Structure 1
Amino acid sequence: MAKILLENYCFPENLVGMQEAIQQAIDSGEILRISDRKTLASVLTVGVQGALNDPRLTVSYEPNFVPVMPPLLPSLPIEQLIRLVRNSVKVDILENNIGYLRIDRIIGEETAATLGSLLRDNIWDKIAHTSSLIFDLRYSTAGQLSGIPFIISYFSDPVPIIHIDTVYDRPSNTTRELWTMPSIKGERYGKKKDMIILTSKHTMGAAEAVAYTFKHLKRAIIVGERSAGGSVKVRKIRVGGSEFYITVPVARSFNPITGQSWEVSGVSPTVNIIAKEAVAKAKYLLAVRGAIPSIVQSISNIIERSYAFTDKVPALLHHLQSTDLFSVISEEDLAIRLNQDLQTVSEDPRLIIKYLQDNAAIVEEDPELCTVPDDQELLRALIDSTFKVEILPGNTGYLRFDKFVELSALTKSEEFMAKKVWEPIKDTDNLIIDLRYNTGGCSTSLALILSYLHDISPKHHFFTIYTRIQNTTTAYNTPLQITGPTYGSKRGVYVLTSYHTASVGEEFAYLIQSLHRGTVIGEITSGTLMHSKMFQIEGTGLAITVPVINFIDNNEECWLGGGVVPDAIVLAEDAEDQVHEIADFHQGLRSLMEETGELLEKHYAIHEVALKAITDSMSSSAMLSPSRLMTL
C-alpha cells in the first residue's frame, strides 16, 4: 500500500512518514489479529483517510473484481460520436432571446476537433446571437478535462489567452497547463453577455472544472446545488497479488486564481437553490441583471442633476460606470453594492441607495407646512396657534413653537408677531426656546427669528444655502428692518431639544451652537434632516437619497445634517429643570466677568478702544456657550 501511494497519490508531499506509519501498525500486532478481510479493508480505509485527510482514499476487498475499461471516444466510428454528442447536448432559444445550453457529457480535445463543424453548426452558431445564456450542467456526470479549453474559449475573447487550469499527474510525474484557444471554429459568445451556470449535487468531474473556472474568472453566476466534488482522475489499484484494492486519486487540479480546486469540496453556487427550481431562478436573475445598465444610468443622471457637491460628481459618475457588478443577484444586492461605492467615493453618509421592500411608496414632505393664508385674520390665528409665550419664575421667558412658519407669513403679520412674542419677553433675564416638539416647517423664517436674538447692529450673516436643483445660492442675513424689540445678545438663550426635534428645528439648534448664541439642552435630535431628496428609480424597488442642499454656516463650514448633539444631554422631560441650574451657573460667570472687566478698566494699561472690545466680549452671552467657555 505504501509503495502504491508513493508512486500514484497526487499529493506526494503529504506522504512523508507513510511507510513508517504502516510498519508501526504492523509491529503493534493489532492489525494482524483481524481475521475478516472486509473488516481489515474498513480498518485500513479509516487509517489511510485519517492519516492523509482525504475521503477519496479507500481500501476494498473484492475477490471478483474485473476492471472495466471505457471505450476511447476518438476510436469510435464518426456516426457513433455524432449520436453520442446529440444525445448529451440540448440547445434551445427561450423567451426574451435567452439561450439554453445543456451538456451532459464534456467531450475531450480529440473528439471536439473531429466534430468541430458539427459542434459549430448545431451548438455554437445557434446560441451566438442570444442576449444571455443559461448553461445547464445539472446532469453532467462524465467528461474529459482536455475538452474544457474548447468550452471556456467560446465564452472568452480571443486575446489575451487565459490560463484556465493546471493538472498534475502523479504516475507520470507531469504537469499540464490548460489555456484558452486563440482560434476556434464558429462564432464566439464572448465574455460580455450574461451567463448563468446551473449545477446540482450530481454535477461531477469536468463539468465541475468548467463551473469552477467560470465562477472565478467572474464570467458566470452559479445557480443550484453544491456539486459532487469529484476528482480529476481516480484509479483502483490492486495491492500486490492480493484481492485487496486501493482507490487512489492520481491527478489533481490547481486553479491559477484560487490556488485550490473543486475536487472533494465541490463548486459552491452563488445562489443556492434546489436543482429543479434552478431554471426559473436563472430566468429571474437574468431579468434583474438585464436591467442593471439602465438602473445605473438613471442613478448617474440623478446624481449629475441633483447632487449638491458638484465637485464630487465626475468621480462618482466614473465610479458608477466602472463598478464591478458581476455577481449581483437582486435589486437589494445591487443597492448594497452601489451604496458601498458611493459612500466610499463621496465620503457623504447622506448619499444613500435603498431597496424599498415591496416597492414601498416614498413619503413626500407635506406641502401645507409652507402655505401662507392671504386673510389677515387667518394669519393672526396661525401665529397665535403656533407660538406659546410665558413668563416663568425667576423672570425667565419661555417660547415654544412646534413648527417654523413660512417667512412671508411672519413678515405680513410682523406687528402682531412682535406683540404676541417679543414684547412679553423683552425684559426677561433669560429665554427658553422649546423645540422639543418641533418637527420642522419652512427654513425661510430662520434668519428672522435669529435676528431677534441678536443686537440690531452690527448686521449679521447667519448661513448660506446652495440649492443644486435650482443652482441658486442664497445668503441669509439680518433683515434690513425689524418690527418690535430684539432680545439682543447679552442675555442667556437656552434651546430645549428631544429626539422628536426634526428638520428645520435641527437647523435652528445647530445655528444656535455655531453662532455661539445659546446653550442647547435635552436629547440628540432626530437626525432626519439631511438636506436631501429621495428619488425612486422608475420600474424598480430602488430609491436614491441625494443631498440637494449645501447648508453653510457662519463659519463657512458645510453642515451635512444629522442629529444635533446638545451641549447638555439630559432626558427631554428634565431639560427645563436643567435650564435653571445652568442659568444660575452662567449668572455666576457673568458676575465674575463683570468684576474682571472693572479690574481691567482700573488697572490695565491698554488703549481705550481695545479695552472696550475686551469688556464687550466678556459681557456677551456668547461667551457663555460651551464652545467659548474654554477661552476664559
Structure 2
Amino acid sequence: MHSDEIRSIVDRLAALVSEHYVFPDVGRGIADRLTKAAGEGQYDGLTDPERLSAQVTADLQVGNQDKHLRLKFHRGEVPDETDPVEEEHYWATRARLDAGGMARVERLPGNIGLLEIRPILYDPSHAGAALTAAMSLLSATDALVLDLRGCLGGSPDQVAFVCSHLFDGEPVHLNDLVTPATGVVRQFWTFHVAGPRFGGTKPIWVLTSASTFSGGEELTYDLQQLGRAKIVGERTGGGAHPRQGFKLHPHLEATVPLMRAINPVSGTNWEGTGITPDLEVPAADAYDVAYREAIDHVLALPAAPERLAILDEARAQFAG
C-alpha cells in the first residue's frame, strides 16, 4: 500500500466510526483523532496491511478499550458487506467447513453430555440444523457440559436458539440489544424448538476462558443471570457491543460496534469487565472440574435398575 491509499482507508474508517459507533460522542472524538493522525502522516510508513491493522486498532481503543472496535486484518479476502450474494456465500461456506460451530458433541461416560462450540456461534440460517442435531443427541443425558472456551463470538439469534433447548415452558427473556442511533430495541426470548430438547431442569456447567468473547459471552451471561448454569473457568474477554463489518481493503475490515446489550435481570452487561465465573479456575482445568461435579450429580441420582450401568460407568471415572 502507498500513503494515499493508507490515508483513504483511515479516513473512511473514521467516517464509519463517527456515523455508527454505539456511543456517538465518543465515536466523533475517535474519528477526529484518527483523521488528525492520518493527516499528519503517522500511518504513511505502515505499508503492510497487518502492521497498519495493529497500529490503527490500538489507536481506536485508546481510552475506551472496546475490543470490538478494530481495523481487522484478514489473511483471506474480506467479504463485501454491500454484496449480499458474496457475503452469504462467505458465511455459508465458513459454517459448513466448521460444522456449524459444533466442534465436539459427545456422550461422556456417566451419561453426561458435552457440547463444544467454536470458533463462533454461526447464525441459525447457516448452523441451525447442526445445533438441532447436536442437541437431539444430547437431550437424554443427565447433565451437560457446554464448552465455550474457544467461542470467540457470533450470532445473538443462535444464542437464543441454544437457550431454547435449555429451558421449558413459557418463553424466557434473554437479552435486549439497543441501537442508540435509532432508539430501536430488539428483544431476544427463548422459543419452541422442534424435536427433543435438553430441558430446563437438568444441570449445566459452562466452561469459559479469557478468549471467550462477544456472542460466547452473551450465551454465558444469559445462562448465569437466569441461574440456569454454573460457570467454570476464567474471566471472559469483555465484549458486549455487537458490531458490523465494513470492507475497506481486500484484507482489512472495519468492525464498528453499533449496539449495546442490556440483560433483563442485571440491567447491564459485561462490556469491559468480562464475566466472572461462579467457580474460577484456569481454563485448562475447567473441563476436569466441571466433569467431576457432573459425575457427582449423576451418582446422587436414584439407582433405578435401568440406570445401574450408567452409575457404574460414572463411578469408574474417578476410581482410585
Q: TM-score surpassing 0.5?
A: yes
- Establish whether residue 222 from structure 1 lines up as the match of residue 224 from structure 2: no
**1:7 is paired with a residue of what secondary structure?**
helix
Partner of 1:72: 88
- Separation in 2, partners of 1:207, 1:173: 25
- Separation in 2, partners of 1:253, 1:237: 25
Per the TM alignment, residue 185 of structure 1 is displaced from its structure 2 partner at its CA by 1.1
Number of residue equivalences: 274
Partner of 1:197: 206
Deviations 1:38-95 (A, max 9, x none): 58x89976765445454554579x9x99634585269859xx9666437734222223
Partner of 1:150: 161
- Establish whether residue 277 from structure 1 lines up as the match of residue 285 from structure 2: yes
Structure 1's 236 and 97: CA in aligned 2 closer, same or farther, altered over 3 A?
same
Per the TM alignment, residue 250 of structure 1 is displaced from its structure 2 partner at its CA by 2.7
Structure 1's 101 and 246: CA in aligned 2 closer, same or farther, altered over 3 A?
closer
Verify the 8 A CA contact 1:106 1:206 in the aligned structure 2: yes
Verify the 8 A CA contact 1:10 1:168 in the aligned structure 2: no
- Establish whether residue 9 from structure 1 lines up as the match of residue 21 from structure 2: yes
- Separation in 1, partners of 2:247, 2:29: 18
**2:257 is paired with a residue of what secondary structure?**
strand
- Establish whether residue 167 from structure 1 lines up as the match of residue 177 from structure 2: yes
Partner of 2:188: 178
Deviations 1:313-363 (A, max 9, x none): xxxxxxxxxxxxxxxxxxxxxxxxxxxxxxxxxxxxxxxxxxxxxxxxxxx
Per the TM alignment, residue 246 of structure 1 is displaced from its structure 2 partner at its CA by 5.9
Partner of 1:100: 114
Partner of 2:152: 141
- Separation in 2, partners of 1:278, 1:47: 34
Where does the alignment leave 5 or more consecutive residues of structure 1 unmatched? 295-632
Deviations 1:364-385 (A, max 9, x none): xxxxxxxxxxxxxxxxxxxxxx
- Separation in 2, partners of 1:275, 1:204: 14
Amino acid at match of 2:108: L
- Establish whether residue 262 from structure 1 lines up as the match of residue 273 from structure 2: no
Per the TM alignment, residue 210 of structure 1 is displaced from its structure 2 partner at its CA by 0.8
Structure 1's 38 and 267: CA in aligned 2 closer, same or farther, altered over 3 A?
farther
Verify the 8 A CA contact 1:233 1:252 in the aligned structure 2: no
Amino acid at match of 1:37: D
Per the TM alignment, residue 171 of structure 1 is displaced from its structure 2 partner at its CA by 7.2
Partner of 2:136: 125
- Separation in 1, partners of 2:31, 2:237: 34
- Separation in 1, partners of 2:116, 2:64: 37
Verify the 8 A CA contact 2:95 2:122 in the aligned structure 1: no
Alignment identity in percent?
24
Per the TM alignment, residue 194 of structure 1 is displaced from its structure 2 partner at its CA by 0.9
Deviations 1:544-598 (A, max 9, x none): xxxxxxxxxxxxxxxxxxxxxxxxxxxxxxxxxxxxxxxxxxxxxxxxxxxxxxx
Deviations 1:150-174 (A, max 9, x none): 1101111131x11211123467764
Per the TM alignment, residue 232 of structure 1 is displaced from its structure 2 partner at its CA by 2.2
Verify the 8 A CA contact 2:107 2:138 in the aligned structure 1: yes
Amino acid at match of 1:184: V
Please tell me whether Structure 1 or Structure 2 has the larger radius of gyration of its CA atoms: 1
Verify the 8 A CA contact 2:21 2:257 in the aligned structure 1: yes
Per the TM alignment, residue 186 of structure 1 is displaced from its structure 2 partner at its CA by 1.6
Per the TM alignment, residue 249 of structure 1 is displaced from its structure 2 partner at its CA by 2.1
Verify the 8 A CA contact 2:166 2:200 in the aligned structure 1: yes
- Separation in 2, partners of 1:76, 1:57: 24
Verify the 8 A CA contact 1:93 1:127 in the aligned structure 2: yes
**1:268 is paired with a residue of what secondary structure?**
coil
Partner of 2:99: 85
Partner of 1:379: none
- Separation in 2, partners of 1:20, 1:141: 27
TM-score (norm 1): 0.37
Verify the 8 A CA contact 2:177 2:187 in the aligned structure 1: yes
Q: Over the residues paired in the alignment, what is the CA RMSD in angstroms?
A: 4.2
Per the TM alignment, residue 18 of structure 1 is displaced from its structure 2 partner at its CA by 3.2
Per the TM alignment, residue 35 of structure 1 is displaced from its structure 2 partner at its CA by 5.7
**1:203 is paired with a residue of what secondary structure?**
coil
Verify the 8 A CA contact 1:74 1:110 in the aligned structure 2: no
Structure 1's 201 and 75: CA in aligned 2 closer, same or farther, altered over 3 A?
closer
Structure 1's 87 and 229: CA in aligned 2 closer, same or farther, altered over 3 A?
closer
Amino acid at match of 1:94: L
- Separation in 2, partners of 1:253, 1:221: 21
Amino acid at match of 1:152: C
Per the TM alignment, residue 203 of structure 1 is displaced from its structure 2 partner at its CA by 2.4
Verify the 8 A CA contact 2:102 2:131 in the aligned structure 1: no
Deviations 1:432-472 (A, max 9, x none): xxxxxxxxxxxxxxxxxxxxxxxxxxxxxxxxxxxxxxxxx
**2:202 is paired with a residue of what secondary structure?**
coil
**2:110 is paired with a residue of what secondary structure?**
helix
Verify the 8 A CA contact 1:200 1:226 in the aligned structure 2: yes
Per the TM alignment, residue 236 of structure 1 is displaced from its structure 2 partner at its CA by 5.0
Verify the 8 A CA contact 1:7 1:170 in the aligned structure 2: no
Verify the 8 A CA contact 2:149 2:208 in the aligned structure 1: yes
- Separation in 1, partners of 2:90, 2:15: 34
Per the TM alignment, residue 8 of structure 1 is displaced from its structure 2 partner at its CA by 0.8
Greater RCO, CA 8 A, separation 6+:
2
Amino acid at match of 1:195: I
Structure 1's 209 and 58: CA in aligned 2 closer, same or farther, altered over 3 A?
closer
- Separation in 2, partners of 1:20, 1:107: 31
- Separation in 1, partners of 2:55, 2:110: 57
- Establish whether residue 250 from structure 1 lines up as the match of residue 261 from structure 2: no
- Separation in 2, partners of 1:12, 1:96: 52
TM-score (norm 2): 0.67
Structure 1's 158 and 112: CA in aligned 2 closer, same or farther, altered over 3 A?
farther
Verify the 8 A CA contact 1:216 1:257 in the aligned structure 2: yes
